[in-house]
């Protein structure tokens, strides 16, 4: 049977949902509030579009932080190979980089959008840009979409793929949550995910721009260790950012209190080996003051703050430092304290954590369990993952599953 299908949101989930539904023979109209499709796609991967990840699909679930079990049907129905094949079919060549991240060979996100546009055109999807849906009415049989600048659209089936609340300049302003609530759905708490962290430490501004590689960031709730991440990070004027910080935010953004962070500046060395390394350095710089004897161990700008954390007088001559003081220095290097203040605003998060309660959506079809003929896909649902192309793949997979099931 041919249905008249409306899709709200022209991001990755909406594009796949619209294309898949049209290929099933339905009449599909895609509504996008911006003047172009895939505006958020343009900024992913630092403007190069990290399309997906080439890891085996079973490994994807290790990188999904929220409600991974909900995604089994969608990820296995339309996996990372499927999206690469689709884009290749419409003229986009891809490449794989560090961390199995998949990018367009041209390094241009605009080329990804062009391939998706060809897909929609050849599938026969009607595209209505600059069409901001203000609200939706359901009469028990069909849906009516009210466009903000006037006009209405009636459809038999509706797929909502309006994204989260991150990067509102791209059009993700949370409209879909209002639509969902008006149709009887519940929305879980919305929090920033993959977002930088703010610190209380007054010295952080002096370290702005300092990058650290091969360090380990650990989060605790009271004395309980919550999560640890190894890799790269950077100090900012408000706190810390970079890959391990963004990933860490995904695991700790639901913790309300007693969150504390420590930084292991030398994770490759245990305490004993690190102490031996310091002993060698001290032998080399025995007549220098401590503040001038750690240049081979640490970046220059970080030295004063590590010494302060150790409690050793910075002007103390190295050969006068006791074993007890050296132990304190080792502890400061292995557990450098960072005073957690909070997360940057949700608007600065790469994705939104929280969304439409997955208990109200059929994971095999993406159809609402409350309103028949209503489907959801993408970031609007309460699912999120780590960086590396995983969140975009969730959008494609859930969008495709919704599209083939209308």
User: What is the full per-residue pLDDT of the chain (406 aa) written as tens digits?
Assistant: 899 999 999 999 999 999 999 999 999 999 999 999 988 888 787 789 999 999 999 999 999 999 999 999 999 999 999 999 999 999 999 999 999 999 999 999 999 999 999 999 999 999 999 999 999 999 999 999 999 988 999 999 999 999 988 867 666 788 999 999 999 999 999 988 889 999 999 999 999 999 999 999 999 998 899 999 999 999 999 999 999 999 999 888 877 678 999 999 999 999 999 999 999 999 999 999 999 999 999 999 999 999 999 999 999 999 999 999 999 999 999 999 999 999 998 888 888 889 999 999 999 999 999 999 999 999 999 999 998 999 999 999 999 999 999 9
332 with 200, same domain: the answer is yes
Domain containing residue 119? 4-191+349-404
121 with 238, same domain: the answer is no
pLDDT at 47: 83
Are the C-beta atoms of 8 and 34 separated by less than 8 Å?
Answer: no
24 with 102, same domain: the answer is yes
Beta carbons within 10 angstroms of residue 275's beta carbon: 17
pTM above the 0.85 mark? yes
The secondary structure of residue 353, as a DSSP letter, is E
| Residue at a domain's end among 324, 343, 362 | 343
138 with 245, same domain: the answer is no
| Residue at a domain's end among 343, 372, 395 | 343
Beta carbons within 10 angstroms of residue 250's beta carbon: 27
Beta pairing, strands 351-353 & 191-193: antiparallel
Distance between CA 317 and CA 319 in Å, rounded? 6
172 with 308, same domain: the answer is no
pLDDT at 342: 92
CATH of the domain at 68: 3.50.50.60
CATH of the domain at 224: 1.10.8.50
39 with 177, same domain: the answer is yes
pLDDT digits (tens, 9 = 90+) for 94-110: 999 999 999 999 999 99
Query: Mapping DSSP to helix (H, G, I), strand (E, B) and coil, where does residue 275 land?
Result: helix
Alpha-carbon distance values, 196 to 83, 203, 248 (Å): 29, 17, 9
pLDDT at 186: 97
Helix axes 390-404, 12-23, angle to 10 degrees: 30
The secondary structure of residue 167, as a DSSP letter, is S
30 with 130, same domain: the answer is yes
152 with 65, same domain: the answer is yes
pLDDT at 256: 66
| Residue at a domain's end among 297, 322, 343 | 343
pLDDT at 166: 80
171 with 143, same domain: the answer is yes
179 with 41, same domain: the answer is yes
Q: How many domains does the chain have?
A: 2
201 with 309, same domain: the answer is yes
Count of residues in the chain:
406
285 with 324, same domain: the answer is yes
pLDDT at 348: 85
Query: Mapping DSSP to helix (H, G, I), strand (E, B) and coil, where does residue 146 land?
Result: strand
């Amino acid at each position: 049977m041919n249905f008249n299908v409306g899709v709200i949101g022209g991001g990755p989930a909406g594009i796949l949902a619209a294309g898949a539904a049209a290929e099933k023979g339905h009449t599909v109209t895609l509504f996008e509030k911006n003047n172009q499709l895939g505006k958020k796609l343009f900024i992913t991967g630092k403007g190069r579009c990290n399309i997906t990840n080439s890891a085996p699909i079973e490994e994807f679930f290790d990188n999904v932080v929220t409600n991974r079990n909900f995604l089994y049907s969608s990820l296995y129905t339309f996996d990372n190979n499927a999206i690469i094949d689709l884009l290749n079919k419409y003229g986009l060549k891809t490449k794989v980089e560090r961390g199995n991240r998949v990018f367009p060979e041209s390094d241009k996100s605009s080329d990804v959008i062009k391939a998706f546009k060809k897909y929609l055109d050849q599938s026969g999807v009607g595209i209505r840009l600059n069409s901001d849906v203000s609200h939706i009415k359901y009469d028990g049989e069909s849906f009516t979409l009210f466009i903000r600048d006037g006009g209405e659209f009636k459809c038999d089936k509706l797929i909502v793929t309006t994204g989260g609340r991150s990067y509102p300049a791209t059009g993700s302003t949370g409209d879909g949550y209002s639509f969902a609530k008006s149709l009887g759905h519940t929305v879980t708490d919305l929090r920033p995910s993959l977002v930088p962290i703010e610190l209380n430490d007054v010295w952080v501004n002096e370290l702005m721009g300092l990058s650290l590689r091969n360090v380990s960031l650990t989060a605790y709730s009271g004395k309980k260790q919550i999560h640890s991440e190894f890799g790269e990070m950077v100090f900012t004027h408000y706190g810390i950012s970079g890959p391990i910080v963004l990933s860490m935010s995904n695991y700790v953004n639901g913790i309300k209190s007693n969150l504390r962070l420590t930084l292991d500046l030398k994770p490759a060395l245990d305490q004993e080996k690190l102490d031996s390394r310091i002993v060698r350095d001290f032998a080399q710089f025995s007549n220098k003051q401590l503040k001038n004897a750690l240049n081979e161990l640490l970046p220059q700008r970080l030295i004063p703050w590590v010494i302060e954390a150790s409690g050793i007088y910075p002007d103390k001559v190295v050969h006068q430092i006791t074993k007890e003081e050296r132990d304190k220095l080792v502890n400061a290097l292995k557990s450098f304290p960072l005073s957690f203040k909070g997360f940057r605003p949700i608007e600065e998060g790469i994705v939104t954590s929280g969304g439409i309660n997955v208990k109200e959506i059929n994971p095999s079809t993406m159809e609402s369990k409350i309103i028949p003929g209503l489907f959801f896909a993408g970031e609007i649902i309460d699912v999120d993952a780590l960086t590396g192309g995983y969140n975009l793949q969730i959008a494609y997979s859930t969008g495709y599953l919704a599209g083939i099931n209308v």
